[in-house]
C-alpha cells in the first residue's frame, strides 16, 4: 500500500505535491471530533453560521492569485482562466449563504382552531463531501457551504490530483475561527474512503465523479438507507436551429466544448445543427478552434492547456481514432499544435463531422478537447438524438424563437436546459441530473432540502377554563 499521496503536474509531469495519507487513528479522531461538534453546531443560530461562512469565503477570495497558480499546476487550467474558479466560488457561496435565510425557515401552516402546526428543518449531521479535480473549488463549495449553513458538520475528501484545495478550505475555515470539528479534511486512500462510507457516523454523502464511482458508493452504503447526492457526468448536447445567431452559437459552443480542455461534466460533447446552416456553422467553428493556443498553462498566452494526465489523452485519442475508422472526418491537423506530443498530457483540439450514434464519440463521455457535429433536418430529429443518451445533465438550444426553444426544452431529458448559452451554473437554479448523470440536487433554495430533514410539530392547546368546577 502506498504511504503517500503524490500529485504529478500535467504541466511537466513533475512531482508537485506529496502528502501522507491519513492513518487509522487520525481518521477515527476526525470522526470523533465531527460527532462531538455536530450537536453544538446544529444549535448555533443561523446568523452566526452566516458570519462564520462569510469570513471563510472572504479568506479564500483574499488568496485568489495564489490559489490560481495552484490550480494551474495541479490540474492544468491555463493561468489566464484559473482565478475565475474563485470568482465562481464566491458567487455560489455568497448566494447560498443568503438563500439559507428563507430556505431554512420553519414552514408555518394555516391556523387550525385548537392547534399550532409547523415544520422545522433539522440538519442531517455529518456530511462527507467527495470532490473531483476538474473544477476543484466549484464542485466542493456546492456542497460544503450549504451543508454548514444548514447546521451540518463536514468532512472533505478531495481528489488526489488537487489535495491543496482541501488544505486551502481548511485554512480558510481556521482563519474564520470555526469551532473545532465543524469542517475537517482527510487525504485518504481508496480503501479508507470505502471504510468511511460504511461508518455509522456518516449521515449524508455528496459525491461528484464518475458513474463507476457513484456505483461504488451505492454498493458501500447499501442497507444504511443514507441520503446520497450524486453528480456523475454527462454527454451534454446542443442543437443549433436554422434561425440561430450563428456567430453567437459558434463562440458559445466552442467555448463550452473546449474550455478546461473539455474536462467538464456539463461541457458540450455533441452538437446537432440544422442542415440549412450546418456548413456555415462548421466552417466558422473550425476557423475559431484553429486559433486556440495549446501550451503550458503557466504561460499567460495559452488558451488550451493539457489534460490532467497522459492516460486521459490516450482515452480521448482512442475514441477519435475509432470514429475515424468508422467514417468520421477530422477537421483539425494536430501537427499545427506543436505541444501535441506522444506520451504527454498535451492534446490538440479536434472537431469531427460525419459522426453518428454508432460511434462512442457521440455516446460515451469523452472528457477531452473534441466535439462531434451532426446535421439534422428538423427539431424532432434533434430532440430524438439529444435524448438518445444514458446521461442527462444539461442540454442547450440555440434559437431566436424563445417560445419554440422552450417547447423543445420541455421534451428533453435533462436536469438543466439552456437557450443561447451552455456550460454554466447559476446558483439560483437547482443543479441536478437525470439518468446516469446522477440524483439529488445542489444549489438554489431547493439544494437545502437534501441537507436537512423535516420535523413536524403538532401541538394541541388546552383550554384550562373547561376543567374548572
Tell me the backbone φ, ψ of residue 87, rounded to 5 degrees.
-60, -45
Report how far apart, in Å, the C-alpha atoms of 351 and of each of 202, 361, 370 are: 44, 11, 6
Q: Give which of 185, 175, 187, 167 is closest to 66, Cα–Cα.
A: 167
CB atoms within 10 A of CB 31: 20
Report how far apart, in Å, the C-alpha atoms of 455 and of each of 119, 127, 201, 424, 452 are: 6, 19, 21, 34, 9
Q: Give which of 292, 194, 296 is closest to 251, Cα–Cα.
A: 292
Residues 237, 386: contact at Cβ < 8 Å? yes
Within 8 A by CB and 6+ apart from 256, the residues are 238, 267, 268, 396, 422, 423
Which set of grid coordinates corresponds to residue 385?
438524438
Which set of grid coordinates corresponds to residue 368?
477531452
Concerning whether 231 is annotated as a catalytic residue, the answer is yes
Q: Give which of 83, 170, 79, 86 is closest to 129, Cα–Cα.
A: 170
Residues 306, 274: contact at Cβ < 8 Å? no
Residues 273, 281: contact at Cβ < 8 Å? yes
205-221 burial: b if 16+ Cβ within 10 Å, else e: bbbbbbbebbebbeebb
Q: E-assigned strands of 276-393?
A: 329-330, 350-353, 370-376, 391-392
Choose the catalytic residue: 26, 70, 167, 231: 231
The enclosing H or E element of 323 equals helix 310-325
Q: Give which of 238, 240, 216 is closest to 228, Cα–Cα.
A: 216
Catalytic positions, please? 231
Amino acid at each position: 500500500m502506498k504511504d503517500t499521496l503524490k500529485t504529478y503536474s500535467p504541466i511537466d509531469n513533475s512531482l508537485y505535491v506529496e502528502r501522507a495519507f491519513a492513518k487509522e487513528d487520525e481518521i477515527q479522531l476526525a470522526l470523533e471530533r465531527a460527532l462531538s461538534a455536530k450537536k453544538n453546531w446544529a444549535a448555533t443560530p443561523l446568523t452566526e453560521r452566516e458570519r462564520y461562512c462569510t469570513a471563510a469565503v472572504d479568506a479564500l477570495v483574499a488568496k485568489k492569485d495564489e490559489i490560481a497558480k495552484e490550480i494551474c499546476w495541479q490540474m492544468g487550467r491555463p493561468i489566464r482562466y484559473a482565478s475565475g474558479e474563485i470568482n465562481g466560488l464566491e458567487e455560489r457561496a455568497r448566494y447560498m449563504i443568503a438563500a439559507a435565510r428563507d430556505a431554512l425557515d420553519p414552514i408555518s401552516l394555516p391556523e387550525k382552531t385548537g392547534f399550532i402546526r409547523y415544520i422545522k428543518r433539522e440538519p442531517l449531521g455529518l456530511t462527507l463531501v467527495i470532490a473531483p479535480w476538474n473544477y476543484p473549488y466549484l464542485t466542493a463549495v456546492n456542497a460544503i457551504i450549504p451543508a454548514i449553513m444548514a447546521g451540518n458538520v463536514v468532512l472533505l475528501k478531495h481528489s488526489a490530483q488537487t489535495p491543496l484545495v482541501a488544505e486551502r478550505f481548511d485554512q480558510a475555515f481556521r482563519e474564520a475561527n470555526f469551532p473545532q470539528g465543524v469542517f475537517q479534511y482527510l487525504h485518504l486512500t481508496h480503501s479508507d474512503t470505502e471504510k468511511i462510507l460504511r461508518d455509522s457516523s456518516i449521515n449524508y454523502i455528496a459525491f461528484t465523479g464518475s458513474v463507476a464511482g457513484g456505483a461504488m458508493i451505492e454498493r458501500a452504503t447499501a442497507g444504511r438507507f443514507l441520503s446520497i447526492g450524486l453528480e456523475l457526468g454527462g454527454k451534454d448536447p446542443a442543437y443549433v436551429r436554422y434561425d440561430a445567431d450563428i456567430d453567437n452559437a459558434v463562440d458559445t459552443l466552442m467555448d463550452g466544448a473546449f474550455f478546461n480542455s473539455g474536462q467538464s461534466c456539463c461541457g458540450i460533447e455533441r452538437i446537432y445543427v440544422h442542415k440549412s446552416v450546418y456548413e456555415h456553422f462548421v466552417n466558422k467553428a473550425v476557423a475559431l478552434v484553429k486559433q486556440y493556443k495549446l501550451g503550458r498553462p503557466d504561460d499567460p498566452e495559452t488558451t488550451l492547456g493539457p489534460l490532467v494526465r497522459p492516460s486521459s489523452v490516450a482515452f480521448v485519442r482512442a475514441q477519435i481514432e475509432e470514429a475515424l475508422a468508422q467514417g468520421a472526418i477530422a477537421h483539425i491537423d494536430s501537427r499545427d499544435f506543436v505541444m501535441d506530443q506522444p506520451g504527454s498530457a498535451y492534446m490538440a483540439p479536434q472537431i469531427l463531422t460525419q459522426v453518428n450514434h454508432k460511434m462512442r464519440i457521440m455516446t460515451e463521455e469523452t472528457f477531452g478537447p473534441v466535439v462531434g457535429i451532426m446535421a439534422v433536418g428538423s427539431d424532432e430529429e434533434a430532440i430524438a438524438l439529444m435524448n438518445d443518451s444514458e446521461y442527462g445533465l444539461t442540454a442547450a438550444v440555440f434559437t431566436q424563437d424563445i417560445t419554440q426553444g422552450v417547447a423543445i426544452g420541455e421534451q428533453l431529458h435533462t436536469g438543466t436546459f439552456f437557450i443561447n448559452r451552455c456550460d454554466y451554473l447559476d446558483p439560483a437554479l437547482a443543479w441536478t441530473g437525470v439518468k446516469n448523470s446522477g440524483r439529488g440536487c445542489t444549489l438554489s433554495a431547493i439544494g437545502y432540502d437534501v441537507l436537512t430533514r423535516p420535523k413536524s410539530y403538532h401541538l394541541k392547546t388546552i383550554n384550562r377554563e373547561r376543567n374548572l368546577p
